[in-house]
Structure 1
């Protein structure tokens, strides 16, 4: 009985740890900067369209401007080389359901893949 309770408890912890986390993978296309705000946008990280990630001008979407500049560099490198990136969010909104032109809800990490 104790073992069954322990297994259920561990399963619940694992589900909680992954709840509200969405990762999107794709080759970024159309990496752009908003000239008025300094916001970094990506036309496509399939199936996500026109995601606003952060700002190189000031802290936005929970990300500092200096970190955003690093993200911009990684996105441009990926776009130029045809490599994929993975975005990580603390959100339950699936990649294709993200509203275009809005900040990517809960965005906190970007990985440049192979």
Structure 2
């Protein structure tokens, strides 16, 4: 894997592209926020707030391994602004769901990230 397969986009443009595309891969009622990761130029911080009365908020770190592949890591899950144990079944399902959506978003953006 040569250098040519590294991510070429700058972080701010990447975050913008994610802001535009991610809502299309999520359930329409879910809310998302995308910010550049200040400590890592190849990473974004993505927060997804679940729709409905559960009021869960999921923080993910999305890191570009190369121009196409992302690694998605769960940073934190909060409910009503308090951290919760993410091992519960419902939360695990949501994490898997959102992880899949994040990968879908990265795939949708390959036309921009993979030159």
Q: TM-score, normalised by structure 2?
A: 0.30
Q: As a proportion of its length, which structure holds more helix?
A: 2
Which structure would you say has the larger Rg? 1
Q: TM-score, normalised by structure 1?
A: 0.30
